Amino acid sequence: MGDDAMIVKLSDHILSPLGDGTEANYMAVREGRSALKRYSGKWHVPEPFVASLFDEEAFAAESSALHLESYTPFEQVLVRTIRAALENAHVDAASSKVVFVFSTTKGNVCLLDEHVSGFPQERVLLGVSARKVCAHFGNPNPPVVVSNACISGLCAQIEAMRLLEGGFYDYAVVAGADMQSQFIVSGFQSFKALSDEPCRPFDAARKGLNLGEAAACIVYARREKAQPEEWVACRGAIRNDANHISGPSREGEGSYRALKAVLAGFDAGELAFVNAHGTATAYNDEMESVAITRAGLAEVPVNGLKGHFGHTMGAAGVLETILSMRAVDDRCVLGTKGFEHCGVSHPLRLTAQHQSTDKRAFVKLLSGFGGCNAALLFAKGGGLCV
């Protein structure tokens, strides 16, 4: 990041099955609650699966009260989380100085299902759907859509940083979301990646991941300096090790390189924690343990949040960033729900219990299909940014 600009968070919001609002979701995690449930026969999927899903009747009623019937459920969660975040940002979303950056992996893929009707088929195109959401807020600029597997939520934030640092816009609304469907669940089951029990990140008994639904939004601004208690997105990196279409590098090459890039010149002793991807799959958790150790972070606390929300795909990078910020504000290192015994070759500082911290920075790490990896360093006040 250049010396003449800081990318500061103005506001945020999370909408998930655990609650509406950042504080509601954070307190649910603090209290150890999880929205993961076992589903059998849902969407005619033949095998049972565990996921974190919105209550369909309650979700429809809430969206109807907001007069969002002309939007798909995916678009509805985006509108709702963006609207809530903007209320606290004091930013005119209709200004030409505001850019919308969307993060999603599947968007309206459910519209490909012949049993789903009522919306134009073109809304399955991510750009069309994004423009629909932008129009709701009267924004005149072309939206940016990031769809890069599991790392989309960090990629979207990094893209927003670049656009603000370049002076193209003054504000960026970064929103990530995904809603689950038969298509998505069946796809992950074909990989044998899903667990029919609540996931256990980094644990010796882990059986696979759980999927989740959520939306999350961060509003960023370009500033000359940040106030001591404001969050700054310091530096992000995206690295692709091109290992395999779905399998991560056994050496953690891409994640290692991303971590080294964002931490260059930074004292790792200032980190409260690394918030890992932590999908609870055999190879991804193992790869992250290797990458984090290779990057010299073996003594830094590590945690994962998917035991509460499941893998929320396009929302994950935004949602988990927001909760990590809130945790540091609370001087807390959140525990990793489901973790008991280390199941990776490079032991990390993991625990299921919450811990206290006086640090003011953290790293968010994500990895995904196609060898994609991303990391982003955040710090309070910006004084730690280099």
pLDDT-derived band at 246, boundaries 50, 70, 90: confident
Q: Tell me if 322 sits within 8 A of 310, measured CB to CB.
A: no
Which has the minimum average pLDDT: 17-21, 110-114, 125-129, 267-271? 110-114
**Res. 386 pLDDT band, cuts 50 70 90:** low
| Secondary-structure class of domain 6-223 per CATH | alpha beta
One-letter amino acid at 301 equals: P
Q: Does the pLDDT at position 126 exceed 80?
A: yes
The stretch 306-321 carries a mean pLDDT of 98
Contact between residue 88 and residue 100 where contact means Cβ atoms under 8 Å apart: no
Whole-number mean pLDDT of the chain? Answer: 95
The CATH superfamily of 231-380 is Thiolase/Chalcone synthase (3.40.47.10)
Task: Give the per-residue pLDDT at 368.
Answer: 86
Residue 174: what residue type? V
The number of C-alpha atoms within 13 Å of 173 and in the hemisphere containing its C-beta is: 32
Task: Indicate yes or no: pTM above 0.95.
Answer: yes
Each residue of 139-186: pLDDT tens digit?
Answer: 999 999 999 999 999 999 999 999 999 999 999 999 999 999 999 999
Weakest-pLDDT range from 107-116, 168-177, 278-287: 107-116
For the residues 342-353, what does the mean pLDDT come to? 96
Element (H, E) at 373: strand 372-380
Is the predicted pLDDT of residue 234 greater than 90, yes or no?
yes
Q: Which residue has the higher pLDDT, 89 or 3?
A: 89
How much is the average pLDDT of 209-228? Answer: 97
Residue range 197-216: mean pLDDT, rounded: 97
pLDDT at residue 2, as a whole number: 43
Residue 308 has pLDDT above 60, yes or no: yes
DSSP one-letter code for 137? T
pLDDT beyond 50 at 45: yes
Tell me what the mean pLDDT of segment 69-97 comes to: 97
Average of pLDDT values for 38-52?
Answer: 94
- Fold: same for 6-223 and 231-380: yes
Which run of H or of E encompasses 155?
Answer: helix 152-165
Q: Tell me, what's the pLDDT at 108?
A: 96
∠ CA 110-116-121, nearest 5°, is 70
Q: Report the b/e string of 156-171 with b at 16+ CB within 10 A.
A: bbbbbbebbbeeebbb
CA-to-CA dists, residue 108 to 61, 69, 76, 102, 119, angstroms: 20, 15, 11, 13, 10
Q: Cα separation of 81 and 187, whole Å? A: 27
Identify the pLDDT of residue 114.
66
CA distances from 256 to 28, 174, 372 (A): 32, 25, 12
- Residue 128's pLDDT band, with cuts at 50, 70 and 90, is very high
Contact assessment for residue 139 and residue 133, using Cβ atoms and an 8 Å cutoff: no
User: Per-residue b/e over 296-334, b at no fewer than 16 CB within 10 Å?
Assistant: ebeebbbbbbbbbbbbbbbbbbbbbbbbbbbbbeeebbb
* Domain edges within the chain: 6-223, 231-380
CA distances from 24 to 28, 31, 74, 89, 337 (A): 6, 11, 21, 19, 18
pLDDT recorded at residue 1 = 41
Q: What is the pLDDT of residue 371?
A: 86
CB 73 within 8 A of CB 213: no
What pLDDT does 206 receive? 97
- Among the listed ranges 62-76, 234-248, 358-372, which one has the minimum average pLDDT value? 234-248
